[in-house]
Amino acid sequence: MTTRSRAVVLQKFDQPLEIREYDVPKPREMSAVVRVRYAGVCGTDVHLQAGKLPVPTPVVLGHEAVGQISALGPGLTHDVLGNPLRPGDWVSWLNNIACGRCRFCLVEQQPTLCTGNRKVYGINQSADSWPHLSGGWSDYIYLQPGTVLVRIPEVATPQQVISLGCAGPTAVHGALNEVQVRFGDTVVVQGSGPVGLASAMYAHLAGAAKVIIVGGPTARLDLAKQLGVGHHHLDIFEITDAAERVQLVRQETSRNAGADVVIEATGVPSAVAEAIDYARPDAAISVVGQYTDHGTTPINPHLITRKNLNISGSWGFGARHYIGYIASLPKLLEHFDLGRLVTEYSLTEANSAIEDAKAGSVLKAVLRVGDE
Ligand SMILES: [Zn+2]
Ligand SMILES: [Zn+2]
């Protein structure tokens, strides 16, 4: 008997998502079928639903998920780290498969810049094409050959794995790989959404002496305080003047010179100019929050030269960052109660989840699949 799977489908932009049913295919060579248990709702899903990104429709949404192996295709016996795989194992996977053939994949070793035909689960695989189930907001997902599949650490619950979603590996890329936080550093993190909080957590783990979060609204900063993320918290809705924020932040740095590292995770263009003001001479700035193009902003480039600044961008995340996130979960969980970031919804409540994510009334919406 063929198993059927419900899936949340984006059919028309700006319209409610629909639940459809598809047959669950048997996995072909080097492929897997996973029973999804938790799937994250990310800011990108809000943009997709609103039609801000050119994607094929219908598409099964969901590019962050965790679940249990349902069936393994011939040849797929181990995860990417060499752990044996069996049906029932809890797994997660990198949401994209780079082409492996272009200059950025092969020469520059920067697969997030892949110019080939990069497949992204829950974003650019049409639900009309086989295997149909290519998104995580679904009872089952079909993982194609080349997927970076990894068993999740035993100490982490599936809720904890999904709690940071894309933000975890994005922060690994932007906050750790592109800039180096050193022991004793003062780090400013701009933004208190998932990427900001994840970046601040990693700054703590990397040995920062002081982590200052500049963000808002108050509820998010309160949650950060309760989780022990950040030593100082500046509410941008309370302190609306940028010059005043710069003064307050610099007062927290050695000799008022500015921060050693600034991580921008806001998505607001003007935050980049503010990052330059927060930075001490020879500081590093990671611009990780400008995923969506919100246009230009005035900056004073003289300061980049005068302060000898190192400013770096980072686009998305690849296998190295994803595995870095999964492997660091036990360490993150020793310090931070990640499950508290999550608000759960059932699969059939996907429309409410996306509405709440859009309104910013929850920090991390997660769909719980299969036991409703
Ligand atoms: Zn995402
Ligand atoms: Zn490529």
Ligand 1 centre and the CA of 44: distance in Å?
5
Q: Tell how far the Cα of 99 is from the centroid of ligand 2, in angstroms.
A: 4
Per-residue confidence (pLDDT) for residue 297, from 0 to 100? 97
Q: Nearest bound ligand to CA 136?
A: 1
Q: How far is the CA of 169 from the centre of ligand 2 (A)?
A: 19
**CATH classification for the domain delimited by 167-313, as one of 3.40.50.720, 3.30.450.20, 3.30.930.10, 2.40.50.140:** 3.40.50.720
d(CA 99, ligand 1 centre) in Å: 20
- Provide CB contacts within 8 A for 323, sequence distance 6+: 80, 81, 148, 150
| 100 C-alpha to ligand 1 centroid (Å) | 22
Q: What percent of the chain has pLDDT over 70?
A: 99
Question: From the CA of 104, which ligand is nearest?
Answer: 2
- Assign 3-class secondary structure to 69-100: EEEECCCCCECCCCCECCCCCEEEECCEECCC
Nearest listed ligand to the Cα of residue 43 = 1
pLDDT at 87 over 70: yes
pLDDT for the residue numbered 372:
58
Residue 332, pLDDT > 70, answer yes
**Residues above pLDDT 90, as percent of the chain:** 94
Q: What's the mean pLDDT in 104-108? A: 96
Ligand 2 mean position, distance from CA 315 (Å): 14
pLDDT tens-digit map of 251-279: 999 999 999 999 999 999 999 999 999 99
- Boundaries of CATH 3.90.180.10 in the chain? 4-165+318-368
The structure tokens listed for 190 are: 């701009």
Q: 16-58 pLDDT, tens per residue?
A: 999 999 999 999 999 999 999 999 999 899 999 999 888 999 9
Query: Residue 225: its pLDDT value, please?
Result: 98
Query: Whole-number mean pLDDT of the chain?
Result: 96
182-234 pLDDT per residue, tens: 999 999 999 999 999 999 999 999 999 999 999 999 999 999 999 999 999 99
Separation between Cα atoms, residue 201 and residue 228, nearest integer Å = 9
Residue 112: DSSP 8-state: G
Each residue's pLDDT tens digit, 124-172: 999 999 999 999 999 999 999 999 999 999 999 999 999 999 999 999 9
Distance 54 CA to ligand 2 centre (A): 19
For CATH 3.40.50.720, list the domain ranges present in the chain: 167-313
Instruction: Give, in words, the CATH class of 4-165+318-368.
Output: alpha beta
CA of 165 to the centre of ligand 1 (A): 7
Q: pLDDT band for 300, please (50, 70, 90 cuts).
A: very high
Tokens encoding 149: 């599949």
Whole-number Å distance, alpha carbon 134 to ligand 1 midpoint, is: 15
Ligand index nearest the alpha carbon of residue 108:
2
Question: In angstroms, what is the span from residue 266 Cα to ligand 1's centroid?
Answer: 15
Ligand number nearest CA of 105 is: 2
Q: Higher confidence at residue 294 or residue 143? A: 143
Backbone angles phi, psi at 186, to 5 degrees: -100, 125
